[in-house]
Structure 1
């Protein structure tokens, strides 16, 4: 109750405070990308990338096409228009000139200034000397910790470590040329300087990234991520869901990037480089060798590759670094004006044979063996009114995967998109990650058709319909099945008001209770939110509704209120409170919640209860920043939460996040 009263009190303060504009990029990110419950992991990776860009924005007057393509919410046309404007007018004088670029809609005009800036072009374009780098570089040290005010069953008996999660992040940057860093992360329950973690933190990531070294465009040593083409051969960076693909007209980010995440999965380790062979021809190559978590069979082969990153109990510690994986690949890209084409090849092998349990119907065509390779051809063409992009890939057994997208912009206010994909049921690509309904580049074919219409100033409509077909069994369906997904989202902005209305209707075939036939799972989700923003504060009221009909009917809703303000130029507050009431987990509600830097919180609520949080950020000086966040969820319909070692013998979950950042 004290937490609730404090949250309400802070919300009232925000209504009477006067400060600068509080509507920041996280709210805009939620509006553009966090609007559905799917692809939570990929949105978290995108959130980390945007946080990194916000901490180290790009100079629009010197940014290359590859650097602008790192900004995930820009379409290919918008990247081209930004480059063309800078070239034609010899640079920008202020960010106000973004209004002159017609392809940028109102939302992206608001988002871009958080990730870019404008400064005069430095005539010295050569790679700086070591002395200059050391003298002019900037250091950042970030420490984050989560303190739970509850005890899990595993904390009493089961987990090898203490219940506190914490991490650190150190980075060194010199302009657009040098980026180096070290990340250490510890999940709750994992041992620290004990039980095999002799180096302290359970997970480390280290990297050195050099850019703009003449013909050598980029060089990364340590841990990194790679994305070629449309991701049908390799993409361990990130990918978006359907609404985000529609908003970017299918554009994918490509290239090599440092792995600066706390995630212990989806990265490569070794060296990667992109070299300009000629003005139109680039070559990217990489080599990787790393340990991976895996569960082994009695004969010592790999049964399952594990990507959770958890090492809290003896079994999980035994699975840690149980196998190794070698990978190598290259991508040759040729561009001429608006036309680009690329050829990719990736090879991978394990030190132990991969032998999944194929007796499970949904594992019948899971990757098996020791050696894997894939090749592909990708292409794109950008016209002022239409664009075409795609990739066709083949694995070592001749199985095919294909993805093509076509966008058409008849006017500056209307864009149409069609995405076709065909992923063979036996196609195998260990690093593939791309657009789809099933979350895998395998056993899926389908077509998405969508539209993004700026009806009038401040009023826009986004809609899509997507039909998918799975020719062979998948998880939850023992036979061939279909899915149909539809979404309609309307946004309206007028002066200080912003209205969002979204409705999603999805039909998906799944097993009946006896697993003898397929029946339809019908899911409907809706959201209505109203935001009022001033230069002093902002307030958002939101209603979420979920209806599910599969084996039984389930209904849920959540009403929530969020307030943000800046009491002083160096001190900001965000308070949120919500009441949820759902039948069961099938009608769960997802909402975005403000968290510390590089932390993406998108919790699911089900049952009956209330959730409230208070977020405070203080920029104590030019060098020191502190964040505190208190979060509480109280359930009215249970005395215990979760199960197994995660069980909490209470109806309330509360915790405190602490983050300190020091720049020098």
Structure 2
């Protein structure tokens, strides 16, 4: 009893301490800060992340809207948060075993290896509530009365007209989407989304039923031995991604904790992304407390070009504006099925995944030298074995996979020197002829193929006000690549650090060096020379008052190919965010100036747009970009958001090329979103 009382008193002292250092930071501040870090990681990735992260943003907001009970959290739920390390997850679960329930979320301060920033993040997604024992799966009455329903509607209005609307695009220049989402705690999810892209028809041929794209999902979790059941559209992630994964990856610029892919999961697909999901049914069943069996089936019609019965190209844009795009819509079918079985113990885990997929037209892409070993044919398979093991401060994770052709392997070892120092060594080998259409993991290109690399990274916090990340990646490519007409090598070096001089200030610095080889333009691969690229970024954020947030970002890039002049690019961005805790109003004003010589030195400018929309455009040329975001919460049910953007170029009289060409040096657009909670 005395020990319990002492622990609670220490916890109360910790609460007062952490509340003080958080400079009155509320949950909205925390989620915005975490969202800013995601955006910054994307900007630093220089386009290596080729998948949008709308589904991840939706998951983030749902967790924020309905926090989990920290006292009933499972290992699988904790693994969904990328800022938690495996060691921190184990220490959190051990704390419950030794000390029982937490009385406040800030009791996490007493958990070994937990730092202040991680506790801040967790406080936005968890709360400490008493444990309800013998809790059963909800009844239909509970699902009806206690479920949470929301409706979202979004309209994008361009105040310009591109060349495609003259005689090519068949629809109107407006974007519109409608989304419904239902949720009962962490047990039942259901919803649908509908989307019409700019230039697509609406309630007119070929979309006489309204929208161009529809998506429906239904997901049940933790219904006795049935751990997950998905019907409709869903996403998958197993092992380290060498066989199948729809996960979003931040690339090599992320922190060490985010480099470890964890869990074997079936997720709902609730965004308007038309590419990265499966359609059918998937289920996970616990055979016992350690053994989990997952099986899945999907059949989808996809876009592509079919000539003489052969599929020559696959389209992933999801756009159906012109007659050509409409003709290529749903032109081939993709059958997909497979299973995963996973055994998980305290400190180790092993699993195997097998999939089979079939195109109803043989895939025969146009042959080039660089894609000689690319996937081709009708029927394919992949089988992988993944594992993880942790011993004290060491953890080892890996996966070995084979396909119809080729093999792939990825293995990484991580060592936690202390709470403030971590090191990871990661080796990957993807054979030049490895065929894996659904693989998605850390790589230099968009496909898991033709790559051999050693990646070393160190994460350090030498001072409570300073955190650093440094990494180097040594890569070789056994076969030709796009714009590289011979086997080649590359070096990728990364350094980033964050400094917190005061509770209201934060400084971030990022540097990246890339050395590669590339064909000289217009030589058809006869002349191949090395390229050198340097990227610098500095960001300063300041909170003069709890209601105002100021930030400044500066980017500078250099690119040079041997024998040619150096190309440069830079941008300067300033933003002001205004938000009152006791008022339902938020405003963000942002302005940028950019001066970019070429595509190789293009810059990325992140800005907060409407909800559940990943929007980080790139720019080249010389000009300015201005944006304004206004958010007003009328009451507990209604939320209104408006985002306006304006870009003006000083060195050109038109924007874009081909059907997207705008005969003007400036463009303005507006996004309007309404959210209603039923």
TM range (shorter): over 0.9
| Alignment match, 2:153 | 143
Q: Which residue number in structure 1 is paired with residue 339 of structure 2?
A: 330
Alpha-carbon distance, 1:199 to partner: 2.2
Confirm or deny that 1:539 pairs with 2:560. Answer: no
Superposed displacement of residue 43, structure 1: 5.5
TM-aligned CA deviation for residue 249 of structure 1: 4.6
Which has the higher mean CA deviation after the structures are superposed, 461-470 or 187-196?
187-196
1:19 to partner: Cα distance: 11
| Alignment equivalent of 2:637, drawn from 609, 620, 623 | 623
The equivalent residue for 1:7 is none
Match of 1:6 in 2: none
State the 1:521 CA deviation.
1.6
| Secondary structure in structure 2 of the residue aligned to 1:31 | helix
Match runs of 1:131-210 below 5 Å: 131-210=141-220
For 2:666, the equivalent position in structure 1 comes to 652
Q: What residue in structure 2 maps to residue 450 of structure 1?
A: 457
Aligned twin of 2:79: 69
Bigger CA drift: 79-88 or 203-212?
A: 79-88
Match of 2:8 in 1: none
1:557 corresponding residue in structure 2: 570
CA distance in 2, matches of 1:60, 1:530: 33
Checking the alignment, whether the CA contact within 8 Å between 2:193 and 2:215 is kept in structure 1 is yes
Asked whether the equivalents of residues 587 and 629 of structure 2 are also in contact (C-alpha less than 8 Å), the reply is: yes
Structure-2 change in CA distance of 1:92 and 1:38 (3 Å) = farther
After superposition, the C-alpha distances for 1:552-587 in whole angstroms (9 at most, x for unaligned) are: 421111111111111552111111111111222221
> What's the counterpart of residue 12 of structure 1?
none
Query: Contact 2:50/2:446 (CA < 8 Å) preserved in 1?
Result: no
Q: How many residues align structurally?
A: 644
Q: Is the 8 A contact 2:181 2:189 kept in 1?
A: yes
Q: Which moved more, 1:262-271 or 1:92-101?
A: 92-101
Single out whichever of 32-41 and 623-632 deviates more from structure 2. 32-41
Alignment map for 1:464-479 (pairs within 5 Å): 464-479=471-486
Query: 1:112 Cα deviation (Å)?
Result: 2.5
Q: Is the 8 A contact 1:414 1:452 kept in 2?
A: yes
Q: Check conservation: 1:145, 1:167, Cα contact below 8 A.
A: yes
Q: Among 359, 366, 370, which residue is 1:362 paired with?
A: 370
* Matches of 2:141 and 2:425, distance apart in 1: 51
- Go from structure 1 to structure 2 and tell me whether the alpha carbon gap of 1:508 and 1:223 turns closer, same or farther (over 3 Å shift): same
- Quote the RMSD (CA, aligned, Å): 1.8
Distance 1:583 1:640, change over 3 A: same
Match of 2:656 among 630, 642, 645: 642
8 A Cα contact 1:43 1:240, kept in partner: no
Task: Answer with 464-473 or 186-195: which moved more.
Answer: 186-195
TM-score (ref. length: structure 1): 0.94
Q: CA deviation at 1:22?
A: 6.4
Shift of 1:51: 3.3
| Long gaps (5+) in structure 2 | 1-23
Q: Distance in 2 between matches of 1:231 and 1:452?
A: 23
**SS class of match (1:248):** helix
Residues 332 and 255 (structure 1), Cα distance of their counterparts in 2 relative to 1, 3 Å cut: same
Q: CA deviation at 1:21?
A: 8.1
Counterparts in 2 of 1:124-523, with a 5 A limit? Answer: 124-244=134-254, 246-297=256-307, 299-358=308-367, 360-397=368-405, 399-493=406-500, 494-513=502-521, 514=523, 515-523=525-533
Tell me if 1:58 matches 2:71.
Answer: no
Q: Note if contact 2:49-2:251 (Cα within 8 Å) is conserved in structure 1.
A: no
Question: Tell me, what secondary structure is at the counterpart of 1:42?
Answer: coil
Cα distance in 2 between the residues matched to 1:208 and 1:328: 19
TM-score norm. by structure 2 comes to: 0.92
Residues 536 and 345 of structure 1, relative CA distance in 2, 3 Å threshold: same
Shift of 1:92: 2.4
Give the Cα–Cα distance (whole angstroms) in 1 for the partners of residues 155 and 49 of structure 2: 21
Residue 28 of structure 1, CA deviation: 2.9
Flag the 1:259–1:173 CA change in 2: closer, same or farther, 3 A. Answer: same
Q: 1:240 to 1:68 in 2, by over 3 A?
A: same
Is the Cα–Cα contact under 8 Å of residues 72 and 253 in structure 1 kept in the other structure?
no
Offset, 1:246: 2.4
**Relative contact order: is structure 1 or structure 2 higher (C-alpha 8 Å, sep ≥ 6)?**
1
Corresponding residue for residue 601 of structure 1: 615
Question: CA 1:209–1:613 in 2, change beyond 3 Å: closer, same or farther?
Answer: same
User: Which residue does the alignment assign to 2:29?
Assistant: 23
Whole-angstrom distance in 2 between the partners of 1:74 and 1:20:
20
